[in-house]
Structure 1
Amino acid sequence: MDFAFDARTEELRAKLLAFMDEYVYPAEAVAHEQRGRLASPWDTPAVVEELKAEARRQGLWNLFLPDSEYGAGLTNLQYAPLAEITGRSPQLAPTALNCAAPDTGNMEVLAQFGDEQQKKQWLEPLLAGEIRSAFAMTEPEVASSDATNITTLIERSTDGTAGTDEYVITGRKWYISGAMNPDCKIFIVMGKTDPEGSDIRRQQSMVLVPRDTPGVTVERAMQVYGYEDHSHGGHAEVVFDGARVPISNLIGEEGGGFAIAQARLGPGRIHHCMRLIGMAERAIELMCRRAVSRTAFGKSLAQQGVVHNWIADARVAVEQLRLLVLKTAWMMDTVGNKGAHTEIQSIKIATPRTVVDIIDKAIQLHGAGGVSQDFPLAELWAGARTLKLADGPDEVHQRSLARHELKKYVV
């Protein structure tokens, strides 16, 4: 394993670091101020569109897609240090580079499983940053960490008016990221086409449902620790009440939804972990700046022993996590997502847990300011804490990882 950055990665890192310093960090306060003057809190501040235009001009666009036909053609190992940099400003940088969830996962699904018409109608405008999208899987009434529990139905029409050339979608979803954004034009919806099927992992399918389809209602925005998470276009509760779409809107094949979801979540999990490391680095930087600039009980915070421990422990933890994430990226590139299963689960367990603790210490060092809007720490904490749930809660990954380990010892 050689984790030295190659020439292309070094070039992109230099460009991206300069882009962050010159454009992204200064835009954070501007975006906050502009958002307060928007007609709707879900509208996009003008500065975000300016960032997107500049990123595209500089070639910092669609870096996440390994398929060179659609994206930058980077490997996971090449993309990892770039995603880490964007994690230092998670509210702006991923969106500016067209590398923000849930669009990234949806573009990966369409690139890998979509037919030519689906790619032309939905993938191309997503790649161009002209529209946004949402992925509708989680449901409020079931434990959606087990996708076999999903109850939303995707049924062939039987009313005789259109034969069986339509699907009828009925169900309720929530925490559907991106759905509040007015630029969100398309949902990828996971539901059951064969709810009585003998193979519980072949009951599910995915279909494309345009947002303006009759029967689709975005009922309300869901908050995350009191935040509305504008960077993702919010998280919504969405009702599908007999919404009809053509059979041609099926992604892949009937019964292929569970496998597609697994293919989508693998890269998504590592992307989150890459960005989490950037969030931790931002927290350490803020911690150190605060420590050398504040005095308590007659000496600077930087002279307090407990602060030394926090900073040292944070540095050790981040270096460990980065190596594990890079190893995972390397394995995904060399042996595939299935071969990197253990490593993907390991980083998904370890990274959010550790980064939450690092950000929490940074908040503590900032006192009341740490939980205020004057620093990004509270919002960083909320985002990191959410990732202990998103893409499968820690306990699900721990269960799977433990069972994999135990198999080695079962005679």
Structure 2
Amino acid sequence: MLSDTQRRTLAATLPAVQAALGEITTRFYQGLFTAHPELRDNLFNRTHQETGEQPQALAGSVAAFARLQLEPDIRRQRFILDRIAHKHASLGVTRDQYAVVHEHLFAAIVAVLGDAVTPEVADVWDQLYWDMADLLIATEHGLYENAGVAPGQVWRDVRVIERTQVSPDTIALELVSSGDQPLPEFTPGQYISVQVALADGARQIRQYSLTGAPNAPAWRISVKLAGEVSGHLHAEVFEGDSLRVSTPFGDLVLPDGDAPMVLASAGIGCTPVIGLLEAMSDARDPRPVTVLHADRSRDRQPHRGRLAALVDSLPDARLVQWYENASPHVLSDSVRTGQMSLQDLSVDRSAHVMLCGPGGFLSAMREEFLSHGIDENRLHYETFGPELLRSKS
């Protein structure tokens, strides 16, 4: 924990550090991957490095945690740490890797900020890093313990028993255990990591939401054609093939209670929603549910029929969908054109809202739900790729 004196130093230096975080994190990854190329190839997603999303995500999380030491918000801090910890656990991150990150992150800070990094400043930011790291390590240890695995030992082999084309650019894979042990149960809304061996020897990893029932003997994931891992799965993985996958993790789960639910998704973001709806349908959940989905067109929408069937199976649910391209003859109160909007929709202010999709969609819809009176604490979301913490959750 930072002392009062350290907090004052943090407050004085945060603007300069935050302004340089983009350069710091870029330099950090360059140094890290030079010293440990195996981390670039076998842990971090190369596509997210090339797009700059991963450095932005690291900068955002460090800056957010630093601000929270000056303006404490326990719920916000728990939200940030839980999301990072679940992602780390799905990758098999262990305690010793935090020391490696520390070494190269602080080398980058000194290289970028130079003489501004006095011993006093270095002490404060060093303490801040380890405060954050220790909280993450403890959270990840709890996740591993709850999953019944040793820290980092999250990987298992599964076999593909069915491959289905669910849209022109999306396939669904059904997976069963390759050994005698059954697949572990998961909480609806969670995801698994999939690790694939690429032609250049790298073993790249990406996360995919589970869409089936949590107690089923098989897992189901959906894969949209985008990026190295998904491209490999589309081109190379068929019935009978083996995959290396992680234990399920993820914190986008159904809240307890009987408050109304709003599930809003865009594109392949429908997959966590389908997982949540599968569980609600199995339980005949009586809660009022509003399902909102946006896509480019009806013919390119993955799981369009399944989404509608799940909504129809619930006692008090409705579905409204938006398409960028839609024929006039299909338009109605429940099928609209353009971008998703809450205009003309009644949203219960007591509802829990689950948002799933790309970053731009999440940011826009978050603001819209807030403007309609939904409390920030009732907004939950899942995104794909690195966590870009530019605004509050």
Please report the TM-score for the alignment, with normalisation by the length of structure 2.
Answer: 0.28
Question: Which of the two has greater strand per residue?
Answer: 2
Question: Which of the two has greater helix per residue?
Answer: 1
